[in-house]
Amino acid sequence: MVGGGPGAFIGPVHRMAAELDGEIELVAGAFSQSAERSRAAGEMYRIDPDRAYADYRTMLEAERKRDDAIDFVAIVTPNYLHLPVAEAAFRAGFPVMSDKPATATYAEVLSLEQIVNEARLPYGLTHTYAGYALVREAREICASGELGTIRKVAVEYLQGWLSRPIEMSGQKQAAWRANPALNGPGGCIGDIGVHAFHLMEYVTGLHATALQATLLSVVAERRVDDDCTALVELDNGAQAVLMTSQIASGEGNGLRLRAYGEAGSLEWRQEDPNRLRLRWLDGPEEIRHASGSYLSDGARAVTRLPGGHPEGYLEAFAVLYREWAGVLRAWKSGAANPIPETLPGLNAAVRGMRFIERAIESSRQKSWVRF
């Protein structure tokens, strides 16, 4: 693991999720930019102290030489390090599971694409919400045509934690996110807008062709956007609305997707993730529950517990890691294309960074832009 030092948010989540199914174990890391803090994190994770490295280059060099070397690298650092760490890992021969956004800029993701294609090593991207059973169910419902042609999509992703300028007082997660040099140019759009965009395409199977976005920095003196609204034209002619904000006071992680077809619609909310609501033009409302025996094979395959035992964020993350473990096994046994289409990878990386870049450009021009 690179990142995930003391006080980090997502590194420890990756550790728990990766280990949930007993197929992956955290054994080494460069957890912080400080050697001392990396060592402290190694103690926290209870790994061999010799494998809590001072920096990621030292880690890759040392691990390459071990008989029991790491099998892959998880990248959980601030965004500006995603490309250099991925590149160094690939050059050392290790597959990469990266957190989003794939890179800090669009130009960087094009480099990443080239590097992955040259390295011919697996690359995964942890768009967490793709791991929820009912997101898989929603995706299969859209693909089945049950809803009819999708004509409208609405995705909201509302958080309130950046309602005040907490980056000025050094709040760890806010400080680098508000610094374009460490984060990239897209603030809210890059942090959570990219999740909303991915979820929209992942569930509906539709693709953006054009968009018009307005990005605002609502909090005075904030250096990146903290609120964004985008209209997105989809490749079947439907329109989507993406409303994302980190200054929506009182909101926690208010991600909600609605997709409306000719015959019916679906709604999924991350804060109530074990229920999928379906409403029909000519029929009664339906609620599907996670772990229902009636769910699609794809949804049941990623459910661990019987009905009434709620699964959530950690389990969804673990679904991606379980699929990733399968990818590594298939890759090691010589499979040509080991990445299942349910697991976000390079295509999601490039499209997500393209979305951020296009949204910034549209907001600057105050006009529609082609995707």
Ligand X SMILES: NC(=O)c1ccc[n+]([C@@H]2O[C@H](COP(=O)([O-])OP(=O)(O)OC[C@H]3O[C@@H](n4cnc5c(N)ncnc54)[C@H](O)[C@@H]3O)[C@@H](O)[C@H]2O)c1
Residues in the site for ligand X, rule: CB under 6 A? 2-5, 8-11, 30-33, 56, 76-79, 81, 99-100, 126, 128, 172-173, 176, 191
CA atoms within 13 A on the CB side of 11: 25
Token digits of residue 352: 């997500």
Give min distance, CB of 289 to ligand X, in A.
Answer: 24
Give min distance, CB of 292 to ligand X, in A.
Answer: 26
Give min distance, CB of 10 to ligand X, in A.
Answer: 4
d(CA 19, CA 14): 8
Closer CB to ligand X, 88 or 238, in the complex: 88
Closer CB to ligand X, 170 or 284, in the complex: 170
Give min distance, CB of 261 to ligand X, in A.
Answer: 28
Cβ count near 356 (within 10 Å): 29
Residues 6+ apart with CB under 8 A from 146: 261, 263, 264
Closer CB to ligand X, 52 or 295, in the complex: 52
What are the Cα distances from residue 115, in Å, to 81, 119, 121, 129, 346?
15, 6, 9, 26, 11
Closer CB to ligand X, 60 or 150, in the complex: 60
Structural contact between residues 275 and 312, judged by C-beta atoms closer than 8 angstroms: no
d(CA 299, CA 359): 32
Token digits of residue 14: 């990756």
Closer CB to ligand X, 126 or 245, in the complex: 126
Give min distance, CB of 54 to ligand X, in A.
Answer: 9
Closer CB to ligand X, 37 or 279, in the complex: 37
Give min distance, CB of 127 to ligand X, in A.
Answer: 7
Q: What are the DSSP calls for 156-209, one per residue?
A: EEE--TTSS-GGGGT-HHHHHHT-HHHH-S-SHIIIIIHHHHHHHHHHH---EE
Instruction: Give residue for tokens 């990386």.
Output: 349
d(CA 66, CA 167): 41
Closer CB to ligand X, 95 or 344, in the complex: 344
Give min distance, CB of 195 to ligand X, in A.
Answer: 7
Closer CB to ligand X, 201 or 233, in the complex: 201
What are the Cα distances from residue 310, in Å, to 102, 187, 288, 289?
30, 32, 14, 10
What are the Cα distances from residue 60, in Å, to 42, 52, 165, 293?
16, 12, 37, 45
Give min distance, CB of 9 to ligand X, in A.
Answer: 4
